[in-house]
Chains A and B, each alone.
Chain A
Amino acid sequence: MTREPDQPSLLESIGAHVVLILAVIFALYPVLWVIALAFSGSRPPVAEMVPLPHDATLAHFQEVVSTTKATPDGSIWLFARQLVNSLVVSIATAAVGIIIAVPTAYALARFKFLGKERGVRALLATQMFPTVASLIPLYLLLDRLHLLDSRTGLVVCYAATSVPFAIFQLRAAFEAIPVDLEEAAMVDGATRFEAFLRVVLPAARPAIAVTALFAFMSAYNEFILAATLLSKAEMFTLPIVLQSYINQYDTRNDLFAAGAILVSVPVMALFYVAQRHLVAGLTAGGVKG
């Protein structure tokens, strides 16, 4: 048997697989526990080497999903409300972030203008403060604006934190797109804006998808801001709901685990759909012309 010069030897191949398998176990072991806890009935696993569900049941999922709250206008389905809150806030955050970051990043990548470098540095500086540092000012600001306990308020805060990162990521993506492409489009009859719309944006699509996904996920997973700015259960996003199962007086690991799995489903679905884009985004740089 002959082998290509860049193909690993059997020994290298085994070594690589061992490392990868260990990494997968390391990443998946906690998830295994979550699954075991979520599906276990009366006797949840406690200290076993390989956690497996006991008396498999879907009762915990049912309990998590069927939460309701009585209001003067009747009872509302709490879990559905909170899921919608999470999705709406995350999608809006991604959308607002992309809408602001795309033109900004493009301008930074292509044009020279006064204060450009300082502006970039200022953006970078905003990334250095932990969210907690701005928690109280944000609370006071949103209070003034009557945006506490609202999705809009949360989206504004999330977008503000996701935009700088999105700008940096997209700027690099736009810089990687050859200027020739736009120039060719302009010679072909496009205005600068048409060239941007019809050539640059499609070429940057993988990077934009990755950036949007990232903004979506950070909003979807965010806890501290949401916990501070939201106080009504019907306005909660899912991370707060999860946290509520583990409180001072009552620790419901089973509900927490079931909730965690439910919360992960949309993200997993999103990853599955965006997979092709993500891979393209990571390899697109090698294409010339």
Chain B
Amino acid sequence: MASVTVAKLLKRFGQTEVLKGVSLSIPEGAFAVLVGPSGCGKSTLLRLLAGLEIADQGTIHFGSRDVTRLEPRDRDISMVFQSYALYPHLTVRENLAFGLKLRKTPAADIAKAVAEASKMLGLDALLDRLPRALSGGQRQRVAMGRAIVRRSSLFLFDEPLSNLDAALRAEVRVEIRKLHDRLGTTSVYVTHDQVEAMTLADVLFVLNKGVVEQSGPPLEIFSRPATRFVAGFLGSPAMNFFDAHLERKDEGFQAVAKDGFTMPVHPDRFAGELTAGREVSVGVRPHDIHVTPGGAPFQVSIVEALGAESYAHGTIAGSPFVARVEASTPVKKNDRLEISFAEMHLFDKQTGVSLRAP
């Protein structure tokens, strides 16, 4: 096991700067998730950790070991690839044993390690099959087995669930978490799926355009997003945004939307830079609304009924808006509701930085 410390990592592909000075640290034994939209640099960062790419600048340490320029085989890592990358000409058993054989592990130890991993992942019945005779879920498990069989000090996962169907994905997600709780190996997991990110991570890193926008425990990031990007990226359906400006009201401030309705701004919850006339982006999660008389006018254009709850799509202050309503609340197309916000986020309109007090 090892901690991971990345300092000012910079990586270019031709003219494109994919990582623009990424620094992060992952404590020993933690399950870290790198999440972000495609092109944010998360996979490149993982490949740098694996040694499959070499950084242009910056350093990577595993524990106290500087691995920045080491070959993958010298880093003591395991990796699960998105495509699983099972060796097509080798049986499941040989796939699992491949790394140990390369390292000249004695045959008895290999057999023991393979048996252990195979038992842990329920691969016993598949050991003599070739990868082409396995289902997608089984291949995924073999790929995991190949990673854990060597007991490396760091596990890397590159979107390992993206080729599975939804039901299996949810199942394997739980299995991965269980496996981590059992082995305790430091893990770095790349995904663009925010549900995976939220549920798996001890520590979450949200990447955007080659930088870490925010890091921390997932629930903390979810409830206190530092930027408009992070706020919009985490949560499903995504946070709603609409434009407003600040006005003084009594001792404090209120936000005034384009169509004139106002929302009180609690001064102690937001940073000191509240000034009258400041342009802001108001963010409200679909789950943070109540249907109450006297709230903001909300014109419903379509309703998605999911059973336990419904999502009402419409507009507020000219911006598209999604509100979650209980299934028991009767909402239908073309209704005109009034809604209030249980929780509201304010972001600077230009920089996107949250105005929330730290």
Which of A184, A185, A194 has the most CB atoms of chain B within a 10 A radius of its CB? A184
Q: Tell me which residues across on chain A come within 8 A of B51, comparing CB atoms.
A: 186-187
Comparing A73-81, A125-133, A199-207, the segment that makes contact with chain B is A199-207
Chain B interface residue count: which class?
Answer: 20 to 34
In the complex, the answer to whether A178 meets B85 with C-beta atoms within 8 Å is yes
CB distance from A176 to the nearest CB of B (A): 12
Which of B50, B81, B131 has the most CB atoms of chain A within a 10 A radius of its CB? B81
Taken residue by residue from 64 to 99, chain B's Cβ proximity to chain A (1 for < 8 Å, 0 otherwise) reads as 000000011100011101111111110000000011
Q: Tell me which residues across on chain A come within 8 A of B52, comparing CB atoms.
A: 183, 186-187
CB distance from A175 to the nearest CB of B (A): 15
From residue 166 to 221 of chain A, which have CB atoms closer than 8 A to chain B?
Answer: 178, 180-181, 183-191, 194, 198-199, 202-203, 205
* Other-chain contact of B73, A180, A181, A186 (Cβ < 8 Å): A186
- Please, how many angstroms separate the alpha-carbon atoms of A190 and B156 in the complex? 17
* Other-chain contact of B83, A178, A185, A186 (Cβ < 8 Å): A178
In the complex, the answer to whether A181 meets B87 with C-beta atoms within 8 Å is yes
- Please, how many angstroms separate the alpha-carbon atoms of A183 and B50 in the complex? 9
Q: Tell me which residues across on chain A come within 8 A of B324, comparing CB atoms.
A: none
Q: Tell me which residues across on chain B come within 8 A of A190, comparing CB atoms.
A: 73, 102
CB distance from A263 to the nearest CB of B (A): 35
CB distance from B238 to the nearest CB of A (A): 31
Q: Tell me which residues across on chain A come within 8 A of B266, comparing CB atoms.
A: none
- Tell me whether A289 is interfacial, beta carbon within 8 Å: yes
- Tell me whether A288 is interfacial, beta carbon within 8 Å: yes
- Please, how many angstroms separate the alpha-carbon atoms of A183 and B82 in the complex? 12
- Tell me whether B192 is interfacial, beta carbon within 8 Å: no
- Tell me whether B269 is interfacial, beta carbon within 8 Å: no
In the complex, the answer to whether B87 meets A199 with C-beta atoms within 8 Å is yes
**Tally of contact residues, A, Cβ under 8 A:** 22
CB distance from B271 to the nearest CB of A (A): 45
- Tell me whether A10 is interfacial, beta carbon within 8 Å: no
B158: nearest chain-A partner, CB-CB: A180
- Please, how many angstroms separate the alpha-carbon atoms of A188 and B103 in the complex? 9
User: Chain A's interface: helix, strand, loop or mixed, by majority?
Assistant: helix
- Tell me whether A145 is interfacial, beta carbon within 8 Å: no
Which of B89, B103, B134 has the most CB atoms of chain A within a 10 A radius of its CB? B89
- Tell me whether A273 is interfacial, beta carbon within 8 Å: no
- Tell me whether B249 is interfacial, beta carbon within 8 Å: no
- Please, how many angstroms separate the alpha-carbon atoms of A189 and B104 in the complex? 10
In the complex, the answer to whether A183 meets B85 with C-beta atoms within 8 Å is yes
- Please, how many angstroms separate the alpha-carbon atoms of A186 and B52 in the complex? 8
- Please, how many angstroms separate the alpha-carbon atoms of A14 and B72 in the complex? 57
CB distance from A154 to the nearest CB of B (A): 35
In the complex, the answer to whether A180 meets B88 with C-beta atoms within 8 Å is no
In the complex, the answer to whether B85 meets A184 with C-beta atoms within 8 Å is yes
- Please, how many angstroms separate the alpha-carbon atoms of A181 and B71 in the complex? 16
* Other-chain contact of A189, B50, B84, B102, B156 (Cβ < 8 Å): B102
* Other-chain contact of B79, A181, A184, A289 (Cβ < 8 Å): A184
A positions within 8 Å CB-CB of B = 178, 180-181, 183-191, 194, 198-199, 202-203, 205, 284, 287-289
A selection of 8 A-B contacts at a CB cut-off of 8 Å is A180-B83, A183-B52, A184-B146, A191-B73, A199-B87, A203-B88, A289-B88, A289-B134
B positions within 8 Å CB-CB of A = 50-52, 71-73, 77-79, 81-89, 98-99, 102-103, 131-132, 134, 139, 146, 150, 156
Return the 10 tightest CB-CB contacts between A and B, nearest first.
A188-B99, A180-B85, A184-B85, A189-B102, A202-B89, A289-B84, A186-B72, A189-B73, A187-B79, A287-B132
